[in-house]
Amino acid sequence: MTAETPPLAGVIGWPVAHSLSPKLHGHWLKRYNLRGYYVPLGIRPQDFESSIRSLPKLGFRGVNLTIPYKETILSMADAVSDRASLIGAANTITFREDGSISADNTDGYGFLENLRQNAPGWDVRNGPALVLGAGGASRAVVSSLLNAGVPEIRLANRTRQRSEILRDQFGAKISVIDWNRASDAAEDTNLIVNTTSLGMSGKPDLQFSLANAPEGALVTDVVYTPLETQILADARARGNPTVDGLGMLLFQGIPGFESWFGYRPEVDETVRQIVLSG
């Protein structure tokens, strides 16, 4: 790649039209007056590996990955970060000069940075966290909370076995809660997180009561469509601090953008409004 070639990056998925990442990265490129392009790439599963291998030759510095490729990439990568390995998925890859692939997972980083920005004064170390769900998003959240010093994680999932797998993997700070007892487990918590798709537009509602939660417990949701899910609306109505899920998406994009375009962007209200705009 010559110095005159503008750097390329993008997001790969199947489908990929739903992704907000092109709007986010495109705004950052324009805002900071940087050369480069970020494009959506809809790639069929049977073409995924050959397409990834060809990208460095086309001038790509790296890409984000969405469904269904976050796990698939790990077996192809030449280097996998500790957090991506632990989570079992990668959402960000960077191509080295020789075309080799470095894989990372920035979802947990995005999750914590979102809380730090939008709940100033809140400290993950001040009490237990209740995490609803045991899928890929949960793995990223659990990993980031443990790294940040959470004293205890109560993990509830509709299929108990999946929670037990995470407990066995992540260790003694995790206690498994039956799904029908999740609301009871909110007692004395410092943080309540919904990592399931329940409550998302087009999905069933999340059946969860905050009646046992302390008034100071921070409530957050990785879902951002709608921006205020029912659990966030319930929390706000009873006076709990809340953080919506959009910031997680925005912050997780920072490490990749910096790696590909050489500039560390910021997340502020302007970025939020640009991404939310139709």
Q: Which of 23, 70, 173, 203 is catalytic?
A: 70
Q: Is 143 annotated as a binding residue?
A: no
Q: Is 238 flagged in the annotation as binding?
A: no
- Is 149 one of the annotated binding-site residues? no
Q: Catalytic residue at 203?
A: no
| Residue 262 annotated as binding site | no
Q: Is residue 234 marked as binding?
A: no
Is 194 known to sit in a ligand binding site? no
Q: Which two tokens stand for residue 72?
A: 């698939």
Q: Per the annotation, does 175 bind a ligand? A: no
* 222 annotated as belonging to a binding site for a ligand: yes
- The answer to whether 159 is annotated as binding is yes
CA dist., res. 193 & res. 32, Å (int): 33
Rg of the chain over Cα atoms, rounded to whole angstroms, equals 19
94 is in an annotated binding site: no
Q: Is 230 annotated as a binding residue?
A: no
Tokens of 132: 């609803």
Token pair belonging to 27:
């705004």
Q: What is the 3-state secondary structure (H, E, C) of the chain?
A: CCCCCCCEEEEEECCCCCCCHHHHHHHHHHHCCCCCEEEEEECCHHHHHHHHHHHHHHCEEEEEECCCCCCHHHHCCCEECHHHHHHCCCCEEEECCCCCEEEECCHHHHHHHHHHHHCCCCCHHHCCEEEECCCHHHHHHHHHHHHHCCCCEEEEECCHHHHHHHHHHHCCCEEEEEHHHCCHHHCCCCEEEECCCCCCCCCCCCCCCCCCCCCCCEEEECCCCCCCCHHHHHHHHHCCCEECCHHHHHHHHHHHHHHHHCCCCCCCHHHHHHHHCC
158 labelled ligand-binding? yes
Flag whether 20 is marked binding: yes
> Does the annotation place 273 within a ligand binding site?
no
Is 98 annotated as a binding-site member? no
88, 67 contact by CB (below 8 A) = no
Residues annotated as binding site for NADP(+)?
Answer: 82, 133-137, 157-162, 222, 245
Binding-site residues for shikimate: 19-21, 66, 91, 107, 224, 252
Catalytic center residues: 70
Binding positions? 19-21, 66, 82, 91, 107, 133-137, 157-162, 222, 224, 245, 252
